[in-house]
Amino acid sequence: MIYLVIMRHYNYIFSCRISLGYRMSEELAQLLWTEKYRPRTLDDVVNQSDIVSRLKIFVKEKNMPHLLFTGPPGVGKTTVALALVHDLYGEDYRRYVLEMNASDERGIDVIRTKVKEFARSVVVGDVPFKVIILDEADNMTADAQQALRRLMEMYVSTTRFILMANYSSKIIEPIQSRCAVFRFVPLSREDVVGRLKMIADKEGVEFDPDALDAIYDITEGDMRRAINILQAAAALGRVTVSSVYKVVGLAHPKEVREMIQLAFAGSFNDARERLRKIMIEYGLSGMDVIKQIHREIFSPDIKMDEDLRVYIADYAGEINYRLIEGADDEIQLNAFLARLVLLGKKLGASKS
Amino acid sequence: MALQRASDRIPWIIKYRPRTLADYIDQDEAKNKLIEWIKSFPKVESRAVLLYGPPGVGKTTLVECIARELGLELIEMNASDFRRMQDIERIAITASDKGGLFGRGRVILLDEVDGINARADMGGLEAVLKLIESTRVPIIMTANDPWSPALRPLRNAAISIELKKLSEGNVIRLLKKICSSEHVECDEEALREIARRSEGDLRSAINDLESVSRGSGKVTLDSVRAIIGYRDRERNPFETLGRIFSARSARAARAAAGSTQLDNDMLMQWINENIPAQMQDPEDLWRAYEALSRASVYMGRIIKTGNWDLLSYAIDLMSAGVALAKKSQDRRWVSYRFPEKIRYMAKSKETREIRDQLAQLIASIDHISTATAKKDVIPYLSIIFRNNPVNASKLAIGMHMSDSMIEYLAGPRAKDVLSLVKEFEKRIRLRGSGKEEKAEGRAETKAESETQKRVQRRASREDTARKEAGLDRFIK
């Protein structure tokens, strides 16, 4: 049974009104399941138990060092960080927490203004510090990291940082050494399938059990993607293995593969058209495209000489590097396609 | 020779400058657009117009004619004036202060805005942008090269109107008219030659005509050839491309790239667009793209390091590198195309903005970056929106999506989802007591995107979710 909840908000004070008198057969305002079923407290977190038990000690002592959470996407770094601050400060935690995503705000300016501003302000409350959560910190520029390192030192008495990164190697060492590092491991099949089943049951979704296994096989322990796939597949009806694959196919533009094949067949212009479609209609960056190309190259669905896969991967890496150097997306990928056209032609010639 | 009169000493270019709109020939499209715009001011899409076109096609003259015709006072500022922030602000004050008290409307002409110098005119561009936002007087700006990166912000803030090069026929006709009122004997061939060399620049054509006829009172093909040198013109994109792709030496290719009115990024896009048509052979194709790719890397490094010394290497590769990529003998002329990328980007601007807003919204709700939202969430949302209007509408309401976001996600099913959203919202209003909140929430999403409000919305949204979770447990 669910009740309609309507709320009104003023600045940072929330007063919630629950109209209990109006019972509804269904909830009309929905969130994505990734958010709806995100564990709110450390107790709700079912996996990563070693990490969770250590963090609970920080909560009990109301004290903690700077933290660095590392691990692949979708294993619960953000969830655990949010649950931690929730447990530290209670429902009202947002007053004590600044949450930022470094891939959207990655420059030194942000560190010098927003982060510094927040770090230097003084807190009132029974926890003697505030927390800054910096997600995808490995996307911060090197100079921003240097600036951050100083802030971490200067304001350690009033502010703790929780940094999150896919790879700790992209975080400069002075920062790593200032943090307690927690390595999150990919979620096990049982964890993911169990969670998906729980959600499906709560949402009243019909499913074939092997469909959930298929989702795990595809996502390899990335809970966010797994839940998103489940929700999308559920929108199509009963969740089956085939509907799962259908959803995944729809979500990932097949144009990338077609583009590769067209270039190999020598149709540069058509391949370039696909590229434009991918970049403009799907909004993918050059970096996204080259990474997806890289995945496709090793897919068994693309027939090519095995040596060639390595050779193309090498060139894809080179293009990736040029993009990092700030080169134009489309020009770089066109160069890549031109290379494929050339390889395709040579190959065709040697075969005949 | 006739008597020397005072009027003989006035350069023809001023003497024959059109005074009225009736005298102003050609450019009908631009003329009508501009008049229309001034007449409907301030009920216009933007309070500024960017009038662009190559030199000598009559940009300033057109503005003067229109001002005179409509009885407007023209407040002008051109490249000879300092255009720092305070100068622009002064103009703004002159123009708007007591404007209309004298019963006469005004129009501000900022001539040659591409000449606003980043260093010498500190803050000038910003001041112009501010002026455009606040002005009560129409602002007309002129520029030669609308693609100049420095002009990008102005381009976005203003309505662009293009003045085209004059046709050779029109140039000849005007020259003839001048010849007859000056009683100069001209032969047809000579005028054609002047017109051809002017490349649609009427001002230079009239200057040439005057300098040839002065003294002799006669204009012949020989005298034209003898007296007039070719101007070192900035080439338009098509000519530049032609010269690059046909260059047989590295030197010639570089010279071609050096004499263009395009900025380097734009030139790269033009080359990028046209390589495949020029290079049929896969070897050539690849070599050309590899060179262009290297050029683009240098451009990236310039942006990253701020070191403009690298520019000449970038130009080497995009011009000579591309030109000399062609080894095969197959030579045929293919027409050049405007960079499709630029067109695509312009066409898809609105869609991309909606997608960005949507990604920001999702990022703030789901604690992820906008990049992750685009890559890992939007594709799945889109599947839901295109296949299951009921689930989609609930998500749209729960996430406070704007109508345009819903349209973006649902594509062909947008109508279904939108009407369901309306219906659900009505139901919510009937059942709950917090009418305004719901409606307000959605309107807000549409209107604003500042972080502050988003954070608040997100926070309240989370409260909902938490309360639900709490209630769930309670009930069980």
Q: What is the DSSP string of A216-274?
A: HHHHTT-HHHHHHHHHHHHHTSSB-HHHHHHHHHHHS-THHHHHHHHHHTT-HHHHHHH
**Residue in B closest to A23 by C-alpha:** B431
Residues of chain B found within 8 Å of residue A252, distances taken between Cβ atoms:
379
Ranges assigned E (strand) in A71-192: 97-101, 130-135, 159-165, 179-183
- Cβ pair B352:A283 closer than 8 A: yes
pLDDT, one tens digit per residue, over A7-44 is 333 222 232 333 333 333 357 888 999 999 999 999 99
Nearest CA in chain B to A326: B300
Chain-chain contact of A339 with B367 (C-beta, under 8 angstroms): no
Q: Would the CB atoms of B383 and A232 count as touching at under 8 Å?
A: yes
Q: Which residue of B has its CA nearest to A289?
A: B375
Q: How far off is chain B from A112, nearest CA to CA, in Å?
A: 18
Separation of alpha carbons A80 and A78, rounded Å: 5
By Cβ distance, the residue of B292, B466, B471 closest to A40 is B466
Query: Which residue among B292, B371, B465 sits closest to A31, beta carbon to beta carbon?
Result: B465
d(CA B454, CA B449): 7
Query: Which residue in A31, A89, A274, A295 has the most chain B C-beta atoms within 10 A of its own C-beta, making it the best mutation to test that interface?
Result: A31
Within 10 angstroms of residue A299's Cβ, the number of other Cβ atoms is: 10
Alpha carbon distance A297, A270 (integer Å): 19
Q: Do B397 and B425 contact (CB within 8 A), yes or no?
A: yes
CATH architecture assignment, domain B27-162: 3-Layer(aba) Sandwich (3.40)
Q: What is the pLDDT of residue A19?
A: 33
Cβ-defined contact of B398 to A29 (cutoff 8 Å): yes
Residue B430 and residue B436: Cα distance in Å, rounded? 12
Residues of chain B with Cβ-Cβ distance to A17 below 8 Å are 433-434
Of the candidates A65, A54, A57, the one whose C-alpha atom is nearest the C-alpha of residue A129 is A65
pLDDT in tens, chain B (476 residues): 444 455 556 778 788 888 888 888 778 888 888 888 988 887 888 889 999 888 888 888 899 898 888 888 888 876 656 666 777 777 777 776 655 545 568 888 888 787 776 666 667 778 888 888 888 888 999 888 777 777 788 888 888 898 888 888 888 998 998 988 888 888 888 889 888 888 888 888 888 888 778 767 778 887 777 766 555 555 667 778 888 888 888 888 888 888 776 788 889 999 999 999 888 899 999 999 999 999 999 999 988 888 888 999 999 999 999 999 988 876 666 778 888 887 777 777 788 889 999 999 999 999 999 988 988 899 999 999 999 999 999 999 999 999 999 999 998 999 999 999 999 888 888 876 544 444 444 444 433 343 334 434 444 544 444 444 433 333 33
Tokens read off for A139: 């996307």
Q: How far apart are CA B393 and CA A258, in angstroms?
A: 33
pTM higher than 0.90 for the full model? no
- For residue B133, the distance in angstroms to the closest alpha carbon of chain A comes to 27
Task: Choose among B365, B378, B459: nearest Cβ to A94.
Answer: B459
For residue range A305-317, what is the model confidence (pLDDT) as tens digits? Answer: 888 899 999 999 9
Please report how the helices B264-278 and A329-351 are oriented relative to each other, as an axis angle in degrees rounded to 10. 20
Mean pLDDT of A98-113: 81
Contact A322 B340 (CB under 8 A): no
Chain B CB contacts of A284 below 8 Å: 374-375
Helix (H) or strand (E) holding B114: none
Q: Which chain A residues are Cβ-neighbours of B266 within 8 angstroms?
A: none
According to DSSP, the residues that pair with B161 across neighbouring strands are B51
B398: left (phi over 0), alpha (psi -120 to 50) or beta: alpha
Among A235, A247, A330, beta carbon nearest to B272: A330
**What does the pLDDT look like over A255-295, one tens digit per residue?**
888 999 999 999 999 999 999 888 877 777 898 899 889 98
Say if residues B270 and B262 touch (Cβ distance below 8 Å): yes
The domain limits of chain B are: 27-162, 168-343, 349-433, 438-475
- Rounded Cα distance, B127 and B107, in Å: 17
Averaged pLDDT of chain A: 84
* Average of per-residue pLDDT across A119-135: 83
For this complex, say whether ipTM is above 0.90: no
State residue A333's pLDDT score: 96
In chain B, the residue whose alpha carbon lies closest to the alpha carbon of A202 is B472
Give the SS3 label for residue A212. helix
Beta strands in B155-238 (DSSP E): 159-162, 185-186, 218-219
* Contact indicator for A293, A316 with CB cutoff of 8 Å: yes
Contact B296 A332 (CB under 8 A): yes
- Across the beta sheet with B73-77, the strand order is B73-77, B106-110, B139-143, B48-52, B159-162
- Do residues A335 and B293 touch, judged by C-beta distance below 8 A? yes
Give B276 to chain A, closest Cα distance, Å.
7
- The confidence score (pLDDT) of residue B147 equals 73
Least confident of A107-111, A145-149, A157-161: A107-111
Q: Which two tokens stand for residue B146?
A: 């609308």
Decide if pLDDT at A120 tops 70: yes
Question: What's A138's DSSP letter?
Answer: G
Nearest to A257 by CA among A243, A274, A245: A274
SS3 A83: helix
In a mutational test of the B interface, the residue from A104, A113, A222 whose CB has the highest number of chain B CBs within 10 Å is A104
Q: Which residue of A has its CA nearest to B277?
A: A269
